[in-house]
Structure 1
Amino acid sequence: MSKYTVLFFLIMFMIGTDTFLISPLLPTLQTQFSVPTGIAGWMLGAYTLGSAAFALIAGPLSDGWNRRTVLLGGLLGFSVSTALCGFADSFWTMCLFRFLAGVSAAFTAPQVWASIPAIMPAAKISKTMGIAFAGLAASQALGVPIGSWLAGTRWSVPFWTIGIASLLLAAVAFFLLPDMKPSARKAERTPILRRYVPLIASGKARSGFLAYLLLHLGSGTAFAFVGKWMADRFGLTIGQIGTVMMFLGFGTLLGSMISSYATRRLGHAKSVAAGLSMLAVLYTVMPQLANLPVVTIIYLIIFATLGIIFPIVMEALTSLNAFIRGTISSLANSTMNGANTLGAWLAGLLYDQLGGYSSIGIFSAVCLALSLGTFLLGGVLTRKEADTVGQESTSAS
């Protein structure tokens, strides 16, 4: 494993841990700041809002600057804003610092995805993508227990710990990463919105991002209410649900680690096609089951499959245009956050008004089937060197 691979894994682990960290702390923070339940969720939403909104700006900016500088600046801002969360003295200051942490993450995470194809040999891109995604998966599995354990002494300790660790990572990245400057100085003068033109003009790119939206809409809708469904159907406590969630996180970690192996054996298109087809069936069948161990095993398979698919899809998207990888990665980040936000809202409506988790399972299956069809019809997963979209026009702009 190369030094860059380890660095990218750790960066994504820190960002992912910070993302999941506040969930187990929410009841404590709600009491600490005397916040009513109706608005307490904004301590989570502020982070997502900052990340989704500023990713659309961060990506195009990074394509005209030294990508190393953007990543370092984002990581430094992320460490400071996360540490400041530990000093928040009110609900609104916590929301402000969480928003700033999300903004900083928007300048950091997409640079990881965009930097991998720029500095890694072609033969190692898929593997490195999978390991970087494994950092997110590991944070999903470990973020809840780490946050809960550290908060046992004081609620602010987890924020300070992540802030200091991220600062150390920024120092390592400063000495380790090479410069990744844009290939043409003219690109620095390209207006931000114009960087999206090659993607908007390309049918292949439009298909890719629509399929990516449907993929996250399906998986995000199903995940949003899985905890409530398990509580209602199996009578699980919050602690027991957390244990199941940890198990599912390890499934994602396993899938991301074997993603490159699946790609070598089946190829990009067949791996995604097989995975999405199986997921559509499992999401439809699972809500009908009444045995918790069986449901847990099926969800482990689902998350492992998603762990295989996501790095493949991200590699395919960032390969659409080598000149605007930062823009592509940031747009993918915003697409993911937007789909998950919409999915959480739709999940509530479906669960409450249209038959509980069964309707969510059917909706997710339909989204994934449509995602697969869009991926295949759009040719997003084909591997052709001359097939990248808009590169000539981008490099000439």
Structure 2
Amino acid sequence: MIAWMSFATMFVIGTDTFLVAPMLPTLAATFDVSTGVSGWMVSAYALGFALFGLIVGPFSDGRDRRTVLLTGFAGFAIATALCGVAQNFWMMIAFRLLAGVFAAFVTPQIWASIPVLVKPDQVVRTMGFAGAGMSVSQVVGVPLGGWLAAVSWHTPFWCIGGLSALAWLVLFRVFPSVPGTRAAGNGFFSIYSDLFSSATFRLYILAYLVYQTGVFEAFSFIGTWLSRDFGLGVAAIGACVAALGLAMALTSIFGSHVIRRLGERRTLAIGIIGLIIAYGATPFAPNVAVAVGLLALGSAFLGINYPLLMSGLIAHTTAARGTVSSLATTALYAGTTIGGLVGGVLLVRFDGFLGVAGFSVVTLVLALTLYALAGAFRAPKAERAPAPTAA
């Protein structure tokens, strides 16, 4: 039950994230703004989510996560529905920002509650379901936004607001209480100070930032590359992106079988190395079928890696899991921003996908190194076999 609730919650939040992108031309015309400025409607949501998450994390760690989750989800549903009645561009920006702020209350509670609500051997599997919800939302969000917007630009926001309200009712009925910890109530700055006093945690969060920078740098420009080098249209590119999201979702859900067989540390190492190989080979694909196949392989590794990376971060604390989850989200958005800035330049300066993929490979190798230095691929001392004693 917790796995499917996590899936549904992340699906709704994720769908709202991807909903606006295909509507930007319509919204730009409606509010009489340029195409470039219209992108602020996407950025406002991401900014509210990323920045406010840094505050919500410590706030939520000292409180019942059920209460924080339900409050945030209610605000998210209302703010999203209000987007559908925005009278001008700045009202839309305000409502999108507010939706992002309330979303920042929701997702950290899901990640932080999973280790408490499920058995230890089910944590990674359940986190995989949560990650799959976000992956499926990527597949559904873009076409859903375009389809509903064909009726009216108001409709997508009201539909997601209504779906959020329905999900809220389900969570209200079945999501259990998850009390905060007294240790987490020592103050905003002390929580961060305690976390970052650990050299291992600093390496983990830096590795996660570098990893997400490489991943999103590549992912952000897949459509542009497929259009420029292979002549694909919007519909074909959408189908390709949907295929990548589906590959990611499948391994997020079913990757737990592989993880149980190989172990978490070995699977993570193989997953990052596999991603490096897939992205490194992509620029040399002779045709679009091979290119999409390699990218889908990379997405499959992404689906396996994501719950392992999140569980690895959250395992560093029991008192500040909400803070760690919020930090991970902020690192993800920061990586997306850095990757977007760098990837655009590399796509112009290098032929094909070579510059973009090359940067991703370099950053992923660096992330692999940082994880290795942090001990992510070594078993804890308690799990290691004792050294043989002399006769």
Q: TM-score range by the shorter chain?
A: over 0.9
Question: Paired residue for 2:364?
Answer: 368
Question: Paired residue for 1:21?
Answer: 19
The alignment of Structure 1 onto Structure 2 pairs a total of residues equal to: 383
Out of 350, 353, 356, the position equivalent to 2:349 is 353
Equivalent residues in 2 for 1:339-350 (5 A)?
339-350=335-346
- Please list the CA deviations of residues 71-107 of structure 1 after superposition, one character each: whole Å capped at 9, or x if unmatched: 1111111101111111112111111111111111111
Equivalent residues in 2 for 1:36-185 (5 A)?
36-184=34-182
Deviation, 1:187, is 3.8
Distance 2:352 2:341 in 1: 14
2:213 pairs with 1:199: no
Question: Paired residue for 1:226?
Answer: 222
- Please list the CA deviations of residues 38-93 of structure 1 after superposition, one character each: whole Å capped at 9, or x if unmatched: 21110110000000100100111000111111111111111011111111121111
Are the equivalent residues in 1 in contact too, given 2:184–2:191 (CA < 8 A)? no
Question: Paired residue for 2:388?
Answer: none
Question: Paired residue for 1:380?
Answer: 376
Question: Paired residue for 2:264?
Answer: 268
What runs of 5+ residues in structure 2 fail to find an aligned partner?
A: 384-391
Question: Paired residue for 1:393?
Answer: none
Question: Paired residue for 1:288?
Answer: 284
Distance 2:163 2:233 in 1: 32
Question: Paired residue for 1:217?
Answer: 213
Are the equivalent residues in 1 in contact too, given 2:229–2:352 (CA < 8 A)? no
What runs of 5+ residues in structure 1 fail to find an aligned partner?
A: 388-397
Deviation, 1:319, is 0.8
Letter of the 1:31 partner, please give it.
A
Percent sequence identity is 42
Distance 1:178 1:384 in 2: 32
Deviation, 1:177, is 1.6
Deviation, 1:268, is 1.5
Distance 1:268 1:6 in 2: 22
- Comparing 174-183 with 151-160, which one deviates more in the overlay? 174-183
Out of 285, 293, 298, the position equivalent to 2:294 is 298
Give the 4+ runs in structure 1 shifted more than 4 A: 381-387
Deviation, 1:183, is 3.3
Letter of the 1:224 partner, please give it.
S
Question: Paired residue for 1:33?
Answer: 31
Letter of the 1:277 partner, please give it.
I
TM-score (norm 2): 0.95
The alpha-carbon distance between structure 1 residues 382 and 159, as it changes in their structure 2 partners (threshold 3 A), is farther
Equivalent position SS for 1:322: coil
The CA RMSD over aligned residues, in Å, is 1.5
- Please list the CA deviations of residues 350-396 of structure 1 after superposition, one character each: whole Å capped at 9, or x if unmatched: 11234452011111001111111111110135564989xxxxxxxxx
